[in-house]
Structure formats: C-alpha cells, structure tokens
C-alpha cells in the first residue's frame, strides 16, 4: 500500500512523534509498503492558522498518491490532513499524541491544572483562539476514519468533552522495546530531560533537588553525588545518556505515554513518575509515583530511591518486566485497523 505519515516533528527534531514517525516508516517499508512522510519545516515559525494552511497546500500531491493517511497529532497536522482527506474522499487514521488545547491553555495562563481535570474544570474560561482549537479538534475527531489512542486513560478523558461515543476508536499501545545493555551509574544522576513547558513542572523538580542538596550530609550521606539532568538530547544521544544514568524522573501534570519512562524500562533503570500518567495499567508494579503538586512527596521519593537497598530492589523488579510491543506489532496493528475500514 501507499501510506502518507503526517507529523509535526521528524528527526533530527527530538520528541515522541518524531521517533514514532521514523520508526513506523521503517517498519512499514520492511513490510513492502511505500511510505512518504510530510512534516513541518517553515511552518514551525508561523502563527496558528497560517501554518495549517501551508501544510494543507504542501500535502496535496501526496494525498492524491496515498491509499491512506496516518496523522500523528490532532490540531497541527491532523486538521489539514483530515480536511483534505474529506475533500478527496481518502481514508485517514489519526493517532492522538498529547493534548494540544490543554498544553496551550497552561502555557498561556500558568494555571497548572491536571490533564485529567482540565475539561471538567475549564469548560468556559478559554480564549477565543482556544475555543476555536476546541471546536476544530472536535470536528476533526468526528471526521477521521479511525481515532487511535495509545492509552485508555486519555481516551476516557476525551470521551465526554469531545463526544466520542459514536466515533470509531482503537487502542494501539506505545512502543515497549526489548531490553538493552545498561551501564552501572558512576553518580546519582537523575535524567529529566524535557521541553521547557509549564506543564512539565520542571521548576518544582529543580526546587525539590535544591532542597535535598541543602540537607546535612551527616543526615543522609547517600545523597552525595546527586545530580539532576534537564538537558535535551537527540534521540540517539538520549539513549546513551540514559544507559549510564542512575534513574529517570518525570513530575509533569499529565503525561499520556512518556517515552522517557519506556526507555528507562528497556535499560532496567528505576524511575519516578507522575501519578498523572496513562501507563499505570502496565507499569503499576514497577513504578514509583509522585503527586506532581507535592514537593515533599517528590523529595521523599528521590531520597528513598537513593538508598542502595531500595534502588537494587527496583532494578530487580524492572528486570522481570517482560511486556514487549515492537514497532512491528504497531505497524501490523495499524494495517489491520485500515483493512477493517
């Protein structure tokens, strides 16, 4: 088949959609399919509305060529892709990534509302632009051929506000790769590399580590060599950094299927994760969860994990985690979804 993947970011950009798009393209091509990828370039620097219009025009030739479109977000590339597929009577499968409306609202207002509470608590105080985003998102969700979620957690959050009861919805879980060789950590380096967005809650994480470092060494000597790594790396460099880190930590106000945690599991690295996540049905037995609003909870969990016996116990738990969901599985599931249309 001829398949068009539309995505807002693609390597060398870093991020979940970029990795997903490249890996899916490679796997589909292994299966004998022809795949094109269309992504943002100049569009990244343009205002909302203009960027979607430009992307709409850019993908017209590829839409004529394709059997179906696989869109890797909703508003940025999903909206122009869906509109064009509607006009040209083409099938489109859309995979939700994050929550564009929630992210924009939090960045604009600084109101650190949890993703799971967002739609029930904020039905009316949207800006004009945000109201348009909501209406356009609802329209496109009702006009795609199939809507794919990576977790039931996000599906349940969106079900009522976007009125998805009569929409065809599928769950295709994220990539859970095979275990790869790790390195003994030379220092207690917690990896938290993330985009500088308010909902990622980096300020609280930084404050927690600063307070821990001010504790007297005599009180807890195992806190020596504690370090927080907030740097952003390329996909390849990120894995190398993760290989030698002590643990991963994520304290955001809502993360649907965080790749950082999935990579930590592959490397048998302990991790601390926000309780506001969509992976708990899979990782509940190996996760250390924190309330992202509670700095004392974050501090206590970091301190707990710095104790040798606790750290080793978590490593052993993660070593026994054996759920595997390869890019081959993901590609096959997407093809099966298309065949049922």
Structural domain boundaries, residue 253: 188-319
- What are the angstrom distances between the C-alpha of 8 and each of 153, 164, 255? 23, 24, 18
pLDDT higher than 70, residue 221: no
Mean pLDDT of 218-246: 81
Residues 134, 103 share a domain: yes
20 vs 71: CA distance, rounded Å: 11
- The answer on pLDDT for 30 being more than 90 is yes
- Residue 181 in any domain: the answer is no
Calculate the CA dihedral of residues 330, 8, 264, 156 and round it to 10 degrees: -70
pTM of the model: 0.91
Confidence category of residue 162, pLDDT binned at 50, 70, 90 = very high
Residues 245 and 156 grouped into a single domain: no
73-129 residue pLDDT tens: 888 899 999 999 999 999 999 999 889 999 999 999 999 999 999 998 766 678 999
Q: Let me know whether 93 and 234 are in one domain.
A: no
| Residues 140, 28 share a domain | yes
Tell me if 59 is assigned to some domain: yes
Better pLDDT: 48 or 163? 163
Going by C-alpha positions, the residue among 230, 276, 226 that lies closest to residue 249 is 230
User: Is residue 76 one of the residues assigned to a domain?
Assistant: yes
* Per-residue 3-state assignment (H helix, E strand, C coil) for 58-92: HCHHHHHHCCEEEECCCCCCHHHHHHHHHHHCCEE
**Based on the domain organization, do 19 and 148 belong to the same domain?**
yes
Spatial distance between the Cα atoms of 291 and 302, rounded to a whole number of angstroms: 13
On whether residue 115 sits in a domain, the answer given is yes
How many separate domains does the chain show?
A: 2
Same domain assignment for residues 296 and 160 = no
Nearest Cα neighbor of 200 from 262, 261, 249, 254 is 254
Cα–Cα dist 65/51, whole Å: 22
CA–CA separation, 101 and 157 (whole Å) = 13
């Amino acid at each position: 088949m001829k398949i068009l993947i539309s995505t807002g970011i693609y390597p060398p950009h870093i991020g979940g959609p970029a990795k997903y798009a490249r890996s899916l393209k490679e796997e589909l091509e292994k299966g004998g399919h022809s795949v094109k990828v269309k992504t943002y370039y100049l569009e990244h620097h343009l205002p909302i509305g203009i960027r979607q219009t430009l992307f709409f025009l850019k993908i017209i030739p590829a839409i004529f060529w394709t059997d179906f479109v696989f869109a890797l977000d909703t508003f940025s590339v999903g909206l122009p892709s869906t509109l064009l597929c509607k006009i040209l009577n083409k099938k489109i499968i859309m995979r939700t990534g994050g929550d564009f409306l929630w992210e924009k609202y939090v960045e604009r207002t600084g109101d650190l509302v949890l993703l799971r509470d967002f739609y029930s608590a904020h039905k009316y105080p949207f800006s004009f632009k945000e109201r348009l985003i909501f209406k356009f998102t609802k329209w496109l969700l009702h006009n795609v051929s199939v809507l794919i979620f990576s977790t039931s957690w996000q599906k349940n959050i969106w079900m009522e506000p976007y009125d998805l009861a009569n929409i065809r919805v599928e769950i295709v879980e994220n990539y859970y790769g095979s275990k790869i060789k790790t390195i003994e950590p030379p220092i207690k380096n917690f990896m938290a590399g993330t985009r500088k967005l308010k909902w990622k809650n980096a300020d609280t994480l930084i404050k927690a580590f600063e307070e821990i470092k001010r504790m007297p060494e005599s009180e807890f000597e195992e806190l020596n060599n504690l370090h927080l790594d907030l740097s952003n790396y390329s996909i390849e460099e990120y894995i190398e950094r993760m290989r030698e880190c002590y643990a991963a930590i994520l304290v955001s106000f809502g993360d649907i299927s965080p790749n950082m945690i999935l990579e930590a599991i592959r490397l048998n690295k302990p991790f601390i994760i926000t309780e506001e996540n969509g992976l708990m049905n899979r990782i509940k037995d190996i996760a250390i969860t924190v309330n992202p609003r509670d700095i004392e909870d974050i501090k206590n969990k970091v301190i707990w994990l710095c104790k040798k016996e606790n750290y080793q116990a978590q490593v052993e738990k993660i070593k026994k985690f054996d759920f595997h969901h390869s890019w081959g599985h993901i590609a096959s599931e997407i093809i099966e979804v298309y065949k049922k249309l």
